[in-house]
Every structure is written in structure tokens, then in C-alpha cells.
Structure 1
């Protein structure tokens, strides 16, 4: 680390009430996450999981995507998950920062690590198995393995209900997942995304599998795929929600649908019920009313 950068970090640490050097040396040597450790969590689903495991009182700061439960909204913010700043992190005197691979930039994480903050990464795969691995890992770190098992069991029970429901589908419905990006521009979810995994768990078929990740999409591009249903996050509804006529639409909260935290089973069951036509205010038709081609 350059001398100027070191002096700047020492200044931040001093403002945070940390003895120069002592804090960093002490917590580099400490391998556990005891109840007294101060945590920063990055990623809404991860933050929600830590709360569900009974360790929410250890969190001293979160990123801007951590909006659930209500207690998470009251915590200090350290910025957006991809654009964290070293000052916002060290000002909270954390022992560890936990993320799923989404935290950045890397330079900020490197400087935090050099200042003595443990940077812990949980599995971040956008899948059901990724969810289970994250919960189990956090349960081990937080000495909450039994609670972690219960969280996974609760999700599995909702997934079983969803499987029973989708057994009545005449075919996998063609689904488009739309969400806001940047300045509110809507993007469609391709393969290798949480939205794609959600659609498949709900018994649907993502029509945009010719690309990975998220891409901007036009109204015409969506309609060309002849979707049976749309799953839209609230922020994207203003762009696309009213533009696609009578295509059945589910409009939901981004963290609820894509957090892949303790409410994953509930989210999958909700979308499965929507596709089955059970009940949703934005539904104009039922997928099960649409004849197979």
C-alpha cells in the first residue's frame, strides 16, 4: 500500500475511533464470527438471510439493496453493492464484510482487507442449490446451523406446493422476466440469472435463453417471443407494464422475487400460482386458459 493511501486509511480509522494498527492486527488473527463481531452485509437476499438466522443484531451496515426486513432499512448504508467506498465501510468499524461475490469495486475490498476487515464470500450461484449453500455457509459462520436447516426446510415446503401446482400445467408457459436497469430502462433476463432460475422453479420456460445475463429489450422484441406471461419488477412496470395488452402480468418487488433468500419458496409459489391463474390483480387471463399450440 502506498504511504499516502496508508495515511488516508489511518485517518479514517482514527475518525472511527480505532487505535492505529491494533484493530487490524487483532481481527486478522481472529478466525471466528462471534456474537460480538460487527458485520456489514452486502446483497439484499444475504442480509435477509442473516436476519432469518437470528444474527440481525450483529449487522452494523448494509448496502442499498438490503431493504427487508424492516429492521434492515434502519441500518446505515455503505452505498450500492458494486460501488462501495472505503470511508463508508471503515467508519462503521466492522470486523467482517459478507457478500456473495457482488460487492465491489475490488480496490475497495482490497483496502478494507488491508485495514483488517475480513472479506467473506458465500456461494453466489443463481440457483436453488446456490441458495441452500449460502444458508448453510452462513449458518456455520454464525453458529446457527439448526436455524439454517429450518430456513431451508421452510423453503422446501413451499417448493413442494409449487411442484404440485405446476403438475397441472398443460405445458411449460413461455415467460419473460423484465426488470429496471440503470436509469429505469427495462431489461429482459436471459439464462444464468436468478430470474431464469425463478421461472424454471415456477414451472415456466424463459423465452430469452439465447443470451446470458440481462439485455435491453423492446416491446416488439418481447412480443416476437409470443410470451404466455410476464413477470415484472415494480420499477420496470412503468416502462412495460401497460404496453403489452392482454399478456398476463405479475408485478412484484425485486428483492422478493430475486433475492433468493429465506422468502425464495414463497416467491416461487406466488409466481407458480400466478401462472396457474389462481389470483393476481394484474392478471387479464389464465395461462391454463391458453390452448397449447
Structure 2
């Protein structure tokens, strides 16, 4: 009389185990709208599930993913064509209405960060982990990242970050948060967001260090030409040879490499 219930119990346990295994192996079809989130997905070991990626996300683990365009000017059509089960990205995804548009089309589209300065990146790591089923691994990654980003001792250097020699990064931008994490002072802290400045206004900011995005070399004419500009040469940074070209991802977004970017910044002064 006991054999049949016992056999049935064993069968149910085996079935449940198989179902759990199948569920854990079911791959998502992920589209990542921003490079900062793409690197989280890769770091958590799910790069092979990414079927679509933003143009800047070029990790080897994403080689199979289709490019969907720039995060600065996204459209729904290339994303829909990939039939994703999950679309994720940060507040860097533009236009802002892309999220409601994708959700309105029946996709699961989740913005995992909301702060314009990127200071909620650790929470974004945890959110991605929850979405793709790697909560514990994401929790450790977020914890380690937060520890590495603890604000440094006051440094006192005035730092100016410019996109192409005119537009500067004010408060509530990733550059502002990274400068403060390094213990420095954002020379453009009196400005909201990103704003273009004329030569006179820029020189009055009196930065000790200037960082310019190197991918815009064709716009500002290269480092030598940029540092010869009268407004740049008049600054402490210009006079003391503290003008540097930097990769755009280092100081225009917060990402897994931000602790290294913060340490690098303190070596430049």
C-alpha cells in the first residue's frame, strides 16, 4: 500500500526538478538600450542572451547582438524586429518616451535607473540582477562597486568636463558626481545639466583640470589646437598643462569602470 504513494512522490519530485531546471535554462531575448546597462548584463554572465545592443556596447560577449542604433536617438522599430522578451536600459536612453512606447507595444521594457547623474548605479545593478535571475551575484557586484566609489578625501581641484570644447557638464550630471566622488570641485557646478558656454564664460570658471571627450577631436581640432585657444590658455589648467583628452564613457556616464575613472582623475592634478 505504501509503494504507490512513494513512487508517486518520487515522480513528482523528479518532475518538479526537471521543470525548475528547464525554467533556469530558459534564455531571455534581451535588448539593452544603453551601454552602462549592457556591461552589467555581461558582468552577470548573460551576454549570450542579448539579441540587440546600443551602438557603444561592444563587449566580445555581445558580438552576436544586433546593433539597434545610438542610445541618444532610439526608435521602436529595430527593437520590435528582434522580438525581445526583456528590454532594459538606464536614464541615458533617449527619447524619454521610448519606455512608454515600448511598453505600449506589449514589450517588457524596464528603466533600471532614474537619476540623471547616475548616482543610483548600484541600485541599477541590483535591478538588472533581479530581472535576469542573478540576485545574489548582482548584490555582490553592487556592494563591491559601492565600496570602490566611496567619496575620497577632499582634493580641492576645480575640474571642468566638456563634451566638445563648448558644452560643459554642470550639476546633476555623471561628470559632477564623479568629480565629487574624487574629492574635487566641479568648476561648472553653478550650471544645471549640460550647457554651451561662450569663451568668456568658460575662462571665468577657472578650472585647474579640463577633460574633453576625445571622440570629438574633429570638432575641437585636437588637443594642441584646443589648448592654444585663448579662453583655455587663460585658465589655470591651460597655463599648467592640465588639459586632457578622455574616452567619453569615462566621465559622461556612470558605469562599472567609474571607480577606475575616479582614481584616474586624482592622478591628473
Does the TM-score normalized on the shorter chain lie above 0.5? yes
1:259-282 Cα shifts (integer Å, max 9, x gaps): 31211211111112223xxxxxxx
| Residue 224 of structure 1: aligned partner | 204
Determine the C-alpha separation between the residues in 1 that align with 2:63 and 2:167.
Answer: 26
SS at match of 1:113: helix
1:230, distance to aligned residue in structure 2 (A)? 0.9
Asked if the contact 2:88–2:110 (Cα under 8 Å) also holds between the matched residues in 1, the reply is yes
SS at match of 2:88: strand
1:40 is the counterpart of 2:31? yes
1:48-107 Cα shifts (integer Å, max 9, x gaps): 11111111111111122324x243466311122243233211111111211223434466
Determine the C-alpha separation between the residues in 1 that align with 2:34 and 2:172.
Answer: 18
Asked if the contact 1:33–1:141 (Cα under 8 Å) also holds between the matched residues in 2, the reply is no
CA RMSD of aligned residues (A): 2.7
Comparing 232-241 and 255-264, the one that deviates more: 232-241
| Residue 61 of structure 2: aligned partner | 71
TM-score, length of structure 2 as denominator length: 0.75
Asked if the contact 2:223–2:244 (Cα under 8 Å) also holds between the matched residues in 1, the reply is no
User: Structure 2 regions of 5+ residues with no counterpart?
Assistant: 1-22, 233-237
Which of these residues, 233, 238, 241, is aligned with residue 223 of structure 2? 241
Asked if the contact 1:179–1:235 (Cα under 8 Å) also holds between the matched residues in 2, the reply is no
Comparing 218-227 and 117-126, the one that deviates more: 218-227
Give 1 or 2 for the bigger CA radius of gyration: 2
- Alignment map for 1:1-293 (pairs within 5 Å): 35-67=26-58, 69-72=59-62, 75-105=65-95, 109-127=99-117, 129-159=119-149, 163=152, 166=153, 169=155, 172-180=156-164, 186-237=166-217, 239=220, 241-242=223-224, 243=227, 244=232, 245-246=238-239, 247-275=241-269
1:130, distance to aligned residue in structure 2 (A)? 0.5
Distance change >3 Å, CA 36–CA 73, structure 1 → 2? closer
Determine the C-alpha separation between the residues in 1 that align with 2:215 and 2:61.
Answer: 23
TM-score, length of structure 1 as denominator length: 0.70
